């Protein structure tokens, strides 16, 4: 009897602890903000009129709708949030290129041998329009594309590569070296298969600090497209500033965040997701804090994550307006 009581008592205690942990996972989490140091404004000294005209278009390839409390820890809201899978098409005078690649028309075939759990959670999405279809619609052949910069090597960012065979892939060396240790071959080599035989060109963000970020790479040497490391989600997740004369500055974040609340609050995603998609928790949080600080200092700059459907749609609406006014 005693043993039974003990077992029941223990079970109840464990159940209560489990329930407590589950409830806690939805609560907001304190970020230490006491030690944030006010950095000196360090605007790069460029003349906006001297910058080239650059067109930036989000190509949305797929999406899934999730409750807000999954996308933003502590949100207490079941409001639907659309998580998109997108590529960005960038037309610079020196090259037409992509930032990330969205999804190819064959993406479900590539995912067919993945576990049911993976396909029902992280790889659950509705294919809306493949990268290839977006490019065809714009009469862009793969020989027109100079290269694709990959923010990082998760499957849903390299997922459009089968639609652009032969196009060189520019990858942060830190990301590629880390991926060689496991990510490339995980899930029956899903990422390696998606990257196919496309040539890989490694780059280093070895330039000076930029806008408070620790280093940079000026892609064309004209100050218009500048890459900065935003690590933590993966070792080499890389953001891209686009500075141009024909519209506002844009800051693309790769997967450093999902939605704007992640850096505005700041808050991670629900820990169930965050822990599965984040390679280095402490570094990823530091990047969120860096972005939070940058966003507060620069409310005029849209900081857009590659899954942030809301901001991507807002951006495309304002971009059409800006280009109509200036063009
Ligand atoms: Zn990712």
pLDDT digits (tens, 9 = 90+) for 142-187: 899 999 999 999 999 999 999 999 999 999 999 999 999 999 999 9
- The rounded Å distance from CA 1 to ligand 1 centre is 52
Q: Quick one: pLDDT at residue 210?
A: 94
- The rounded Å distance from CA 11 to ligand 1 centre is 38
Question: For residue range 293-326, what is the model confidence (pLDDT) as tens digits?
Answer: 999 889 989 999 999 999 999 999 988 777 777 6
Angle at 217 between CA 241 and CA 261, to 5 degrees: 35
What secondary structure letter does DSSP report for 243? -
- Give the span between the Cα atoms of 54 and 243, in whole angstroms: 8
- The rounded Å distance from CA 119 to ligand 1 centre is 15
- The rounded Å distance from CA 304 to ligand 1 centre is 14
- Give the span between the Cα atoms of 125 and 139, in whole angstroms: 26
pLDDT higher than 90, residue 232: yes
Q: Quick one: pLDDT at residue 30?
A: 67
pLDDT band at 40 (very low <50, low <70, confident <90, very high): very low
pLDDT higher than 70, residue 327: no
- The rounded Å distance from CA 156 to ligand 1 centre is 7
Q: Quick one: pLDDT at residue 2?
A: 62
pLDDT higher than 90, residue 72: no
- The rounded Å distance from CA 299 to ligand 1 centre is 25
- The rounded Å distance from CA 129 to ligand 1 centre is 20
pLDDT band at 28 (very low <50, low <70, confident <90, very high): confident
**pTM, to two decimals:** 0.86
Q: Per-residue pLDDT averaged across 31-42, rounded?
A: 53
- The rounded Å distance from CA 258 to ligand 1 centre is 9
- The rounded Å distance from CA 277 to ligand 1 centre is 7
Question: For residue range 252-285, what is the model confidence (pLDDT) as tens digits?
Answer: 999 999 888 888 888 888 888 888 888 898 999 9
Residues in a beta bridge with 89: 57, 98
Specify the range with the lowest mean pLDDT, choosing from 44-53, 110-119, 178-187: 44-53
pLDDT higher than 80, residue 1: no
Q: Per-residue pLDDT averaged across 216-230, rounded?
A: 96
Q: Per-residue pLDDT averaged across 190-210, rounded?
A: 97
In 3D space, the residue among 123, 141, 143 whose CA is nearest the CA of residue 132 turns out to be 141
In 3D space, the residue among 164, 153, 143, 168 whose CA is nearest the CA of residue 59 turns out to be 164
Specify the range with the lowest mean pLDDT, choosing from 7-11, 32-36, 145-149: 32-36
pLDDT band at 125 (very low <50, low <70, confident <90, very high): confident
pLDDT band at 41 (very low <50, low <70, confident <90, very high): very low
- Give the span between the Cα atoms of 272 and 71, in whole angstroms: 10
- The rounded Å distance from CA 225 to ligand 1 centre is 21
- The rounded Å distance from CA 17 to ligand 1 centre is 31
Helix, strand, coil: what percent of the chain each, to 5?
Answer: 35, 20, 40
Q: Per-residue pLDDT averaged across 129-136, rounded?
A: 97
Task: Determine the 3-state secondary structure of 8 from DSSP.
Answer: helix
């Amino acid at each position: 009897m005693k043993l039974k009581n003990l077992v029941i008592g223990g079970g109840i205690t464990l159940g209560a602890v489990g329930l407590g942990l589950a409830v806690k996972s939805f609560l907001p989490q304190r970020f230490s903000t006491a030690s944030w140091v006010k950095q000196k404004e360090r605007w790069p000294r460029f003349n906006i009129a001297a910058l080239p005209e650059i067109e930036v278009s989000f190509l949305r390839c797929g999406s899934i709708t999730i409750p807000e409390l999954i996308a933003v820890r502590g949100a207490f809201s079941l409001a639907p949030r659309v998580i998109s899978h997108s590529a960005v098409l960038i037309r610079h005078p020196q090259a037409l290129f992509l930032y990330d690649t969205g999804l190819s028309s064959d993406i479900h075939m590539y995912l067919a041998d993945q576990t049911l759990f993976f396909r029902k959670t992280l790889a659950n999405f509705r294919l809306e329009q493949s990268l290839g279809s977006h490019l065809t619609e714009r009469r862009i052949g793969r020989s027109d594309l100079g290269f694709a910069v990959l923010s990082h090597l998760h499957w849903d960012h390299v997922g459009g590569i089968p639609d652009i065979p032969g196009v060189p892939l520019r990858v942060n060396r830190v990301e590629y070296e880390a991926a060689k240790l496991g990510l490339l071959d995980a899930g029956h080599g899903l990422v390696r298969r998606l990257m196919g035989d496309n040539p890989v060109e490694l780059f280093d963000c070895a330039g000076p600090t930029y806008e408070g970020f620790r280093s940079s790479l000026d892609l064309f040497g004209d100050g218009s497209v500048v890459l900065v490391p935003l690590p933590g989600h993966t070792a080499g997740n890389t953001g891209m500033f686009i500075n141009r004369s024909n519209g506002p500055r844009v800051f693309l974040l790769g997967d450093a965040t999902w939605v704007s609340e992640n850096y505005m609050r700041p808050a991670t995603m629900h820990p169930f997701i965050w822990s599965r998609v984040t390679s280095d928790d402490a570094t990823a949080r530091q990047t969120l804090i860096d972005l939070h600080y940058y966003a507060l200092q620069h409310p005029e700059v849209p900081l857009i994550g590659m899954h942030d459907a809301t901001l991507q749609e807002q951006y495309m609406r304002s971009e059409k307006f800006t280009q109509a006014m200036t063009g």
